[in-house]
Chain A
Amino acid sequence: MRLTKIMTTLLSGLPTTLTLLIFSFIFASVIGVCLAWLSLRRNPVAKGLARGYLGLVRGTPPLLMLLLAYYGLPKLFLLVGIDINDWAKLLFGIAGLSIGWSAYLSEAFRSAYLSVDPGQYEAALVVGMDASHAFWRILMPQTLLIALPNVENLLIGLVKATSLVYVIGIMDMYNTATDLSNQNQGVYQLEIFVVLAFIYWLVVLAIEWGFRQIRKDYQYVTV
């Protein structure tokens, strides 16, 4: 089998992989920020809720998280009278990965927030900003910059974790590869998986490049 054939077949799964990656990352970040906010509250209930979710999610393998999302979420939603059985598999894949990665991202955001120099907040207050402006103008941007290396690592981890969605039958790049391999009775297995690894590596390189650009833009901001 020609390399170009392998390449084009595998690339047909790339949009699904990227869709999973982008949406899971967005939702995981949103949930992660909310979790970090909860766990930084003084309120013990809020803190407890966040810590409980974190413990549970971090203690569950991502593969299992996908299965739980796929089989569990429809049952959970049915309890409140919403039928999501007809949702596309892709949505369950995104849900599973988002839940899994939200816990890691929330810890990245929380630790970054705690690393911001408290003097920055005080300086914002003494120039007359209220707490909300101080947060959005000064603390939040610095938190994001501190969290950047961790977030980059987690995003790269998520690229690889998208391959786990084969377990609920989503035809992402990895599943396309195993499918192609099976169709050929495993004859071109090695070639197929080397090409697959190469494509994943390119995706990771693109992410690394993107983060390098962000770092370059903020090279003089030493937080």
Chain B
Amino acid sequence: MLLELKNLKKTFKNNHVLKGIDLAVKEGEVIAIIGPSGSGKTTMLRNINFLETADAGTMTLRQKRIDMAAPTQEQVLWTRRHMAMVFQNYNLFKNKTALENISEGLIFGQNKSKEEAETLASRALDQVDLLDKKDFYPSQLSGGQQQRIGIARATVLNPDIVLFDEPTSALDPELVGTVLRDMKRLAERGQTMIVVTHQMAFARDVADRVIFFADGQIIEQGSADDVFDHPQHERTQRFLSAIAEDY
């Protein structure tokens, strides 16, 4: 297993957001996490890369075991350098150009030289067909372009896992397609991905495993066909029947 979570718990005040999550991710696996808003999907991702600290739980990443409730600073940095994240609101650095957004992590996270970082960043931009925008600031780019640069910024770091937090939720519908296309390409290259998404068609098309999340727990998981066509749990059935989308 590449990543293993055991008994991940998180509480905000009296709200139990994560009630003991167990999750194992194989190398190259694409996992889609679906579920209603507020069910703890995003919180789980944020706990995995320590943007928030869990109340309990252990994580084993590349055989390295980390207490998620009390990670050392070194473990936090190590984990972040093995994972990358794509945010719902892109979060591109507003004071950096597209190229700098991508090279910054290489220079200051991975100690690469500026020249090497820029070469790699240019290549990553080219992979998302945005090399011609390399000197543009985020404010000069559309939401879709920003998110594709967000994806390039994540993948250029050559991470073990890329975490996607609802990467298309903030986009205009017409821009969603290009972002999903880049994600699909990434999956085809064998990148391990955990994708929190409301794009059921994408989950069905690309994910090796679909996990249905509700009330801070994994309710059901399996192949896309299993979860979408033969949901076992009543809560999953209710969620899927409430979705208007054709998946």
Interface residues of A (CB under 8 A from B): 117, 119-120, 122-130, 133, 137-138, 141-142, 145, 218, 220-223
A88-B77 Cα distance, complex, nearest whole Å: 52
Q: Which residues from A are CB-within-8-Å of B136?
A: 220
Query: Whole-angstrom distance from the CB of B219 to the nearest CB of chain A?
Result: 28
Q: Which residues from A are CB-within-8-Å of B108?
A: 127-130, 133, 137
Report the nearest B residue to A118, measured CB to CB.
B91
Q: Which residues from A are CB-within-8-Å of B49?
A: 126
B157 an interface residue at 8 Å Cβ cutoff?
Answer: yes
Is B139 a contact partner of A220 (Cβ separation < 8 A)? yes
A124-B95 Cα distance, complex, nearest whole Å: 12
30 A-B pairs (CB sep. < 8 Å): A117-B91, A119-B91, A122-B87, A122-B91, A123-B91, A123-B93, A124-B104, A125-B80, A126-B51, A126-B83, A126-B84, A127-B80, A127-B84, A127-B108, A128-B81, A128-B109, A129-B104, A129-B108, A130-B108, A137-B93, A138-B95, A141-B95, A142-B94, A220-B136, A220-B139, A221-B95, A221-B137, A222-B137, A222-B138, A223-B94
Q: Which residues from B are CB-within-8-Å of A218?
A: 95
Total inter-chain residue pairs, C-beta < 8 Å: 74
Is A123 a contact partner of B87 (Cβ separation < 8 A)? yes
Q: Which residues from B are CB-within-8-Å of A142?
A: 94-95
Interface residues of B (CB under 8 A from A): 49, 51, 77, 80-81, 83-85, 87, 89, 91-96, 104-105, 108-110, 136-140, 153-154, 157
Is A220 a contact partner of B140 (Cβ separation < 8 A)? yes
Is B153 a contact partner of A120 (Cβ separation < 8 A)? no
Q: Which residues from A are CB-within-8-Å of B85?
A: 126
Closest 6 CB pairs of A and B: A128-B109, A127-B105, A123-B91, A220-B137, A119-B91, A222-B139
